[in-house]
Amino acid sequence: MAPTIPRRTATLSALVLAASVLALPSVADARPSGSWEYVRGDAFRHYACRERHRTDGPWWVRTVSELTSRSQDAPTHGIGIWAVVTRRAAEQQVDSKTPSRWRDGEIRTVLRDAGSADRLWMQGSYYGPTEPWKDGTRVGGLPRCS
């Protein structure tokens, strides 16, 4: 006996749903275009890369933080991110930014004067304090921006 129309519709719907779930990118695959490294996740996804503007100069660390399904209301409440580069200790901040203006679901920053041994820490600006030196990502380990 041939399947009924409702049964075919249900089967087709299940196949479409399964295909769409399999097509969803993982957090690691959801990075912005270019050479970005996934730094960490809280209510946002945080990525970074580094670049030089002079061959012998310090690094500039470019960051991007993206909204997730858990943080869609952050712009409404004025919640942004905190990005900081520290040197040798959490108290020795080289540069930091605390922007809260979201554009197209992301915040981008540039932290200047970073050395390869310095550490980058990024988080939502809704909690603290942290240990940005101990928990941070080494700037020299970030990919070069493309």
Give the pLDDT confidence of 79-108 residue by residue, as tens digits. Answer: 999 999 999 887 899 999 999 999 999 999
For the chain, what is the mean pLDDT? 82
Q: Is the pLDDT of residue 33 over 70?
A: yes
pLDDT tens digits, one per residue of 101-127: 999 999 999 999 999 999 999 999 987
User: Lowest-confidence range among 21-25, 94-98, 129-133?
Assistant: 21-25
| Cβ proximity of 47 and 63 under 8 Å | yes
Distance of alpha carbon 59 from alpha carbon 117, whole angstroms:
11
Sequence-separated (6 or more) residues with CB below 8 Å from residue 71: 43, 44, 79, 124
- The pTM score is 0.75
Amino acid found at 123? Q
Per-residue pLDDT at 22: 37
Which sequence spans correspond to the domains of the chain?
27-141
Fold of the CATH domain 27-141: Immunoglobulin-like (2.60.40)
Q: What is the dihedral of CA 5, 6, 10, 15, to 10 degrees?
A: 10
First to last CA, the chain: 59
pLDDT tens digits, one per residue of 134-145: 788 999 999 999
Sequence-separated (6 or more) residues with CB below 8 Å from residue 14: none
User: Residue 12: pLDDT band by 50, 70, 90 thresholds?
Assistant: very low
Range 1-30 average pLDDT: 46
| DSSP H or E segment with residue 19 | helix 5-23
Per-residue pLDDT at 48: 98
Range 15-35 average pLDDT: 50
